[in-house]
Structure 1
């Protein structure tokens, strides 16, 4: 069972009858990008899932840009593409795993442990010499079983209280510039949650967008964590998506029990009474 990362060679060797592949390609600035590139060519038998429609919930204006989807609705989507309790799921994208990691986290949130991200994405698959396909994946509908969550969350009120209590450490996955409040283009307010540390999610991968070796990831994360227990870490980003990349990297490096603040900066800054640091 693969639970964090999987190589193209390992994926190619898996039996198709117990495998579901998720194509999670997406671009914020191009709404139809994911479906367009999926139809142009995808991994054989991959199902397309869109960040906005499948992997996020409804926006209210104060719950962030990519709020968590309703778990029961998401379970219906997962069941429609045949994810059973013994299905190995593999998610991929073409953006260093940032959208695939969201699917990975959501499946674990619903209690499904056999899920991994294709290391290096679709580029690693084609570089290894494997073909792409244009055929839509065959659907094998089933009932997706929600089981006890393998990932946990905190809400904005807990993050606000933590500024005074310091019960956990917030780690911001955005770039150093956005963390400092410089050149903010996605959200109306620049800056970060007071007390938050910064670990840009792209620092988890190498020049080929593959995750760094476990020993290197572990050393780099220890530099961020210091003496903090991994279970006292709460991850956030702009909208709760790339924070999942940091959660995946930590788990792959052997640090378990960190949590997600799903609303992240886009939710935090929607309330002008919440403090901002720059």
Structure 2
């Protein structure tokens, strides 16, 4: 297969490639059952895929004030990926079984490390299996390589930045959580319900069609264009509960051609850990 993939790749496109230098990562996870992803991987995964754990591999240590899934140390993450065969130019494909909910985190992290050749498998493992393609229980033996990150700090902001721009009319803060949690209802993951004042809600699952695939680029462009009122995508800051599903909205905007929006990685779980920060409830 010629060319590279930087946003989405279909099951058919992935099946067509025969490049041994590609690296596939299984990112399945369950916030309420931390063994789920590893057990699911052991039961069957895409041939050649290696498992990466959201909390052990794709997040950093918790301090109690930095959210539920803080960003990992970039050098440690780069070393981990290098040990699994990723190097400059390697085409990486991430997948899960939750519409890209967790795989999008790896997609964003690699871009943060300066590695643009990373794509999310559209439709996840279901799209692969439903087309009759085989799964494997083999754990591949991969040759370690050197992965030197080229960190892109401009891709994310911190709580101080968000707090300092709450009154800036140019800021567009998009919350990817489910509408009830955004309103402050049915909060089961974080100790405080509500949202950051001024945020607007775009549930990440609204990026998907009934078939579980991402909506067409033109449709996403129209929907996000309406949401940001034609504003500069670079002024869009994405957040969610802990900086995971917000990456799904960033990916959807990239698919739509609305590039360079940014992530507030600490998100609501970090924001609400400080009682001095303001909280809003209701529809926004």
TM-score (norm 1): 0.98
For each residue in 1:11-64, what CA deviation from the matched residue of structure 2 results, as whole angstroms up to 9, or x when unmatched? 011123220000000000111101101000000000000000000000000000
Q: Distance in 1 between matches of 2:56 and 2:249?
A: 23
Q: Is 49-58 or 16-25 further displaced after alignment? A: 16-25
Unaligned 5+ residue runs, structure 1? Answer: none
Q: Compute the RMSD of aligned alpha carbons.
A: 1.1
Is 1:222 the counterpart of 2:235 in the alignment?
Answer: no
Match of 1:213 among 213, 216, 224: 216
Q: Partner of 1:39 in structure 2?
A: 42
What is the DSSP-based 3-state SS (H/G/I as helix, E as strand, rest coil) of the residue aligned with 1:16? Answer: coil
Change (3 A) 1:152 1:13: same
Is 1:236 the counterpart of 2:239 in the alignment?
Answer: yes
Conserved in 2, the CA contact under 8 Å of 1:237 and 1:264?
yes
Q: Distance in 1 between matches of 2:219 and 2:75?
A: 38
Q: Partner of 1:139 in structure 2?
A: 142
Give how far 1:151 is off: 6.0
Match of 1:119 among 119, 122, 128: 122
Q: Partner of 2:52 in structure 1?
A: 49
Conserved in 2, the CA contact under 8 Å of 1:108 and 1:150?
no
Match of 1:84 among 71, 78, 87: 87
Q: Distance in 1 between matches of 2:10 and 2:154?
A: 23
Q: Distance in 1 between matches of 2:151 and 2:17?
A: 26
What is the DSSP-based 3-state SS (H/G/I as helix, E as strand, rest coil) of the residue aligned with 1:91? Answer: strand
For each residue in 1:194-238, what CA deviation from the matched residue of structure 2 results, as whole angstroms up to 9, or x when unmatched? 011110000000122210111111111111110321010000000
What is the DSSP-based 3-state SS (H/G/I as helix, E as strand, rest coil) of the residue aligned with 2:190? Answer: coil
Change (3 A) 1:15 1:86: farther
**Number of aligned residues:** 278
For each residue in 1:143-180, what CA deviation from the matched residue of structure 2 results, as whole angstroms up to 9, or x when unmatched? 11112428611100111111123442110000111111
What is the DSSP-based 3-state SS (H/G/I as helix, E as strand, rest coil) of the residue aligned with 2:167? Answer: helix
Query: Which 4+ runs in 1 deviate beyond 4 A?
Result: none
Conserved in 2, the CA contact under 8 Å of 1:113 and 1:150?
no
Match of 1:70 among 73, 84, 101: 73
Q: Following superposition of structure 1 onto structure 2, how do residues 1-278 of structure 1 map, counting pairs within 5 Å?
A: 1-149=4-152, 152-278=155-281
Change (3 A) 1:217 1:165: closer
TM-score (norm 2): 0.96
Unaligned 5+ residue runs, structure 2? Answer: none
Q: Distance in 2 between matches of 1:165 and 1:41?
A: 48
